[in-house]
Amino acid sequence: MLLGPIAAQLGQKRLLIVADGALQYIPFGGLPLLAGGGKSSNATSGNEKSKTERYQPLVVEHEIISLSSASTLALLRHEVKDRKAAQKSVAVMADPVFERDDERLKQARGETAARTSNNMLGEKNRELPLGMDRALTESGLGDAKLKIPRLPGTRNEAKQILGLVPPAQSKGSFDFEANRQTATNSDLSEYRYVHFATHGFLDSVHPELSGIVLSMIDEKGNPQDGFLRAHEVFNLKLPAEVVVLSACQTGLGKDIRGEGLVGLTRGFMYAGAPRVVVSLWSVNDQATAELMGRFYRGMLKDNLRPAAALRAAQISLMKEKQWASPFYWAAFTLQGEWR
């Protein structure tokens, strides 16, 4: 219904989507188009299976890029015009430690360490910043006790990515090291690709409190601030070619009329990244690991541009029966520069 009227004019062109309002929440790559320019034939009208098979996702025929406005692209190109490429390849942060009952804390402190509370975010340990409990709950990350589940699949995701480049060209930060200090360290400016594989959270009332969750405790069991918020991202210096937020709902924010969504995407672009890959809904851990491995292989091994690499990864994943549903591959979108 949305693209049917113009299906015949789309051909196989690259599509730049400048959406407004509710359209900003739509995964255009997953929208179906009828084969043959959007027109169904009488021969298949009575056969639901044949009719369904004539549909294909938009991403099969098109490379799709999202922009908050046409002027955004001009600004991004101006910022990177004379910028030298970073010397190193990829930095990844994955599998942070969120809870005190995590096995990794026991290992760090020794098996004889005293047993601690499961609820490291409880009143006895720390007070959450204003609105943070709402943001976490809205994002499905916590119950009344705000217990944040571990994402073990992000470790496999990170290792797949790091395995594509020499150790001297990469940096992997796992466990306690996947923390806020690492994420805000100026060393990240040395890498062309920066990847965050963790939970994301959305505050629909105060979008500046949206962000990602990194390690909430250190190796000694002490609570620490693990929230990297959108308003803090604006102050970073992160001139990476691509920033990937492999987390749930990182592409969302608050809609400001005529300005697009204000959220993490805009923050990382302001920090210096001309391209940001984000998600539109809570993503499946295992499917994301598969998608991201193929995405980075396309960029690092096949020399594809980021937009082309993401498209190739999504098409590859959707061809497998296990991941055929758009739920598994259509959440991620590339925003910004397509070159």
Q: Please report the domains of the chain, with CATH numbers, ordered by start residue.
A: 4-80 (no CATH), 88-336 (3.40.50)
Tell me the whole-structure pTM to 2 decimals.
0.82
Q: Is 271 helix (H, G, I), strand (E, B) or coil?
A: helix
pLDDT in tens, 320-333: 999 999 999 999 99
In this prediction, residue 112 has a pLDDT band, given cuts at 50, 70 and 90, of very low
Start-end of H helices in 116-186: 132-138, 153-162, 180-183
Q: What does the pLDDT read at residue 132?
A: 56
Q: Is 114's pLDDT higher than 50?
A: no
Residues in the chain: 339
State phi, psi for 334 to the nearest 5 degrees. -100, 125
In this prediction, residue 188 has a pLDDT band, given cuts at 50, 70 and 90, of very high
In this prediction, residue 177 has a pLDDT band, given cuts at 50, 70 and 90, of very high
What the block records as the tokens of 276 is: 């940001």
User: Pairing state of beta strands 88-96 and 170-175?
Assistant: parallel
Q: Is 20's pLDDT higher than 90?
A: no
